[in-house]
Structure 1
Amino acid sequence: MENHLTHEASAFINFRNYNFRDPRSHGYRWVDIKHLRIPAEPAEAHELLAALISHEQFRDDYAGGGVLPEGSRHGPYWLRLVTLGAYETVSREESASILWGWVNHFEDVPAKLGADLQQEAFDRLSGADHIYYLSDLGDEAIHDWGRVHEHFHEFVLIDRTAGRITLLVAADD
């Protein structure tokens, strides 16, 4: 099914573009969002997740290198160790709680950042039919320089109404 997922668009929200009172609160924090069109033929949610994991857009270390079609890293992890079993199904409420907890880690976010996050991330969470959350894979899965990410949260959103699967990563480095 990998060949049937088509990368449509991406969005990147960099916290450095907003004004905070506490300088620790923005550092190198960001949300990266990749949208892929899902095929018209019916597919189970786990099949779509497997297709995403094998897609070249998934080969991103989220450390400035971008997508590397032959890459061996995904975020802080070795790509080969990111499997279907590494994801858990979470509710809309639980996913929003995890993400808001990370967003407001230091202090409440400025209104403009909150509005951008609402539009690009939280509205998509609330519209998803199915949400997967990447579990902490443990020390053995972290690649040679993967600890550059202090926090790494990954959600996979399946929205059949929009015909889209979205990879949403929120991290600090």
Structure 2
Amino acid sequence: MQELTHSDSIFINFRDHVFSDSGGHGYRWIDIKRFRLPADAPSDLDLIVALIVNVQFRDDYAGGGVDPAGTRHGPYWTQNVTSDAYRAITRDDAARALQSWAGQHGPLPSSLEEALAREVHPALRAATSCYELSNLGPEAFHDWGGVHIDFHEFVVIDRQESSLTLLVAADD
């Protein structure tokens, strides 16, 4: 199996931005992990499999960070996250879903809109394909998997730039 090479990660913490009200923004964030595709990039399905086995995928997204020996991915046991759990989605639908999630408690401050415009939207606009992790349900949760209120995950593939971006947006 060909491997993905992790290039960088970006964390957008909503707490770093001043909201006009105090409603529900404190524990929301978007985690972005970017990877380089192998020279002879395989199918999208094979890229998703390569992502799932990558050490960067072993992140509980609850403050623990990447754990090379980890068995959690977001709210799920890693064994429950398979390539079959991802469904193709248009880049426009992915952008709308993220925007709806981000703005569900009211208008975003301009500094946060700028961060999203700089770090999230370009990846979605350039996507040659995009996939969304389906809600696997509580039966796939790990021992404390219900900690995330909302958990949204998108795999964004850009074959023009030979990149794969993992976008995770959540509240906890």
Partner of 1:68: 67
The 8 Å contact of residues 81 and 141 in structure 1, kept in 2 or not, is answered as yes
- What amino acid does structure 1 have at the position aligned with 2:15? R
The 8 Å contact of residues 20 and 109 in structure 2, kept in 1 or not, is answered as no
The 8 Å contact of residues 25 and 105 in structure 1, kept in 2 or not, is answered as no
Paired residues for 1:130-141 under 5 Å: 130-141=129-140
* Superposed CA offset, 1:73-129 (max 9, x none): 000001000001111000011101110010001011011110110111111111111
In structure 1, C-alpha distance between the alignment counterparts of 2:15 and 2:109, rounded to whole Å: 11
In structure 1, C-alpha distance between the alignment counterparts of 2:113 and 2:9, rounded to whole Å: 19
Shift of 1:162: 1.4
Paired residues for 1:1-173 under 5 Å: 1-2=1-2, 4-173=3-172
The 8 Å contact of residues 11 and 31 in structure 2, kept in 1 or not, is answered as yes
In structure 1, C-alpha distance between the alignment counterparts of 2:92 and 2:4, rounded to whole Å: 27
- What amino acid does structure 1 have at the position aligned with 2:101? W
- What amino acid does structure 1 have at the position aligned with 2:168? V
> What TM-score results when the alignment is normalised by the length of structure 2?
0.97
- The two structures, once aligned, show a CA RMSD in angstroms of 0.9
Shift of 1:22: 2.0
Q: What 5-or-longer segments of structure 1 have no aligned partner?
A: none
In structure 1, C-alpha distance between the alignment counterparts of 2:41 and 2:158, rounded to whole Å: 13
In structure 2, C-alpha distance between the alignment counterparts of 1:146 and 1:21, rounded to whole Å: 31
In structure 1, C-alpha distance between the alignment counterparts of 2:26 and 2:143, rounded to whole Å: 23
The 8 Å contact of residues 152 and 169 in structure 2, kept in 1 or not, is answered as yes
In structure 1, C-alpha distance between the alignment counterparts of 2:149 and 2:30, rounded to whole Å: 14
The 8 Å contact of residues 25 and 107 in structure 1, kept in 2 or not, is answered as no
Q: What 5-or-longer segments of structure 2 have no aligned partner?
A: none
Size of the aligned set, in residue pairs, is 172
In structure 2, C-alpha distance between the alignment counterparts of 1:164 and 1:24, rounded to whole Å: 36
| Same amino acid, percent of matched pairs | 52
In structure 2, C-alpha distance between the alignment counterparts of 1:17 and 1:42, rounded to whole Å: 37
In structure 2, C-alpha distance between the alignment counterparts of 1:79 and 1:67, rounded to whole Å: 13
Shift of 1:42: 3.4
Shift of 1:150: 0.4
